[in-house]
Amino acid sequence: MFVLLCFTLLASCLGCSGAEQQIHHLLGVEDQDKAAIQVATSRQLQLGYQISSVAAQDDALDFCHEMCTRSAESCGLSDDLCAYSRAYPDVGALVARCRVSRERCKEHRRKVPRQCICDGF
95-110 pLDDT, tens digit per residue, is 554 444 445 445 544 4
Mean of per-residue pLDDT scores for the chain? 62
Whether residue 116 lies inside any domain: the answer is no
| Residue 10, domain extent | 2-107
Percent of the chain, pLDDT > 90? 0
10-43 pLDDT, tens digit per residue, is 444 444 433 333 444 677 788 888 888 888 888 8
Whether residue 118 lies inside any domain: the answer is no
Spatial separation of the C-alpha atoms in residues 55 and 76, rounded to whole Å? 21
Whether residue 20 lies inside any domain: the answer is yes
Q: Which of 17, 111, 97, 99 is nearest to 64 (CA)?
A: 111
Whether residue 52 lies inside any domain: the answer is yes
Whether residue 120 lies inside any domain: the answer is no
Q: CA–CA distance from 35 to each of 41, 59, 74 (Å)?
A: 10, 36, 18
Whether residue 21 lies inside any domain: the answer is yes
Instruction: Give the total number of structural domains in the chain.
Output: 1
Whether residue 79 lies inside any domain: the answer is yes
